[in-house]
Amino acid sequence: MLLTQLPTPGFSFELIATLGHARAGILHTPRGDILTPVFMPVGTAGTVKAMTADELRADPIDARIILGNTYHLYLRPGLDVMNAVGGLHAFAAWDRPILTDSGGFQVFSLAAINEVDDDGVTFRSHIDGSKHRLTPEVSMLIQKTLGSDIAMCFDQCPPGDANDEAQEVAMARTTAWAKRCRVAERADGQALFGIVQGGISRERRMRHAEQITALDFDGYALGGLAVGEAVEDTYRVLDEVAHTLPATHPRYLMGVGTPQDLERGIAAGIDMFDCVMPTRNARNGYLFTSQGRVNIPNAAHKTDRGPIDPECPCATCRTHSRAYLRHLYQAKEILYARLATLHNLTFYARHVRRIRDRILAEGTRA
């Protein structure tokens, strides 16, 4: 086993086994150990939609870490509320680690942007149209107020079809902003990850990774993937770049993706993943199973007395039939979203744990 003390006190990364580029490890944090590879449920606005904290902590999900989002929590409920309640952990009744996105992806993809310059971004809220300014320092202040265990550097995330000039500008700004985030004040014991941009060019990705890793962060993320480029290009970048990031630090692939994406990412050397896919797809009627995806609104399930997945141990599969779930979905009953989300998050958690178990069983001990 190889144990590396990370720059932030209380954080270390333990590499246990490898299988090709795939890794099994433990990210040690003051609020608990995170077994890697790991899928992190997304709690954009302080909640993993339809789930309680107890359900997320309990088997078979056993989420060791969840996400919160700087952009959304800054706009609502706002920093005054977060200051008053003592941060996101207390607010959401979550005592395990939280990672917060910097708001960079959302401000470039969701908000109405008025101005982007080398200092930051001026934008209008998607909620009420109010005008705001987000800079590296503001992003870090928000994340400090939220009190997340892992903060992300503010970055510029270009779309998948951005031209070479736009990619170079985004890389330069992301590097400059990372340096500013690095020296900004953080919450006590808050780790900080840097983000590598560069689009689908191997040369740009490698060049930008060299710049970001030189800044000595606690972990390194690949951003700007699954933003409109072809899946083949996403996988090629993963295969070319992921394993070149420091082996002594956790590697994070942001906002990706399907169960197959997770398999490919892990094989390429990624340790941490997040995506809204399991929760969003659940609410929209798409359920992941060991036999493939189930579209619960289909008429074929109208009288099906079987579970979503006979191999799944979640309470939904142990208790309810496809026919019942289809009825709840068709009737727009709130219970459907809870049952379906519980199942999809269970599938993702077990999917990643099975891959980790295989690395431990078949791989080489570090």
Active site residues: 101, 274
Look up tokens 């917060």; give the residue.
100
Q: Which residues contact 315 (CB under 8 A, 6 or more apart)?
A: 342
Joined tokens for residue 316: 């939904």
Q: Which residues contact 89 (CB under 8 A, 6 or more apart)?
A: 95, 98, 147
Joined tokens for residue 49: 């939609």
CA dist., res. 186 & res. 85, Å (int): 18
Return left, alpha or beta for 93; rule: phi > 0 is left, psi -120 to 50 is alpha, else beta: left
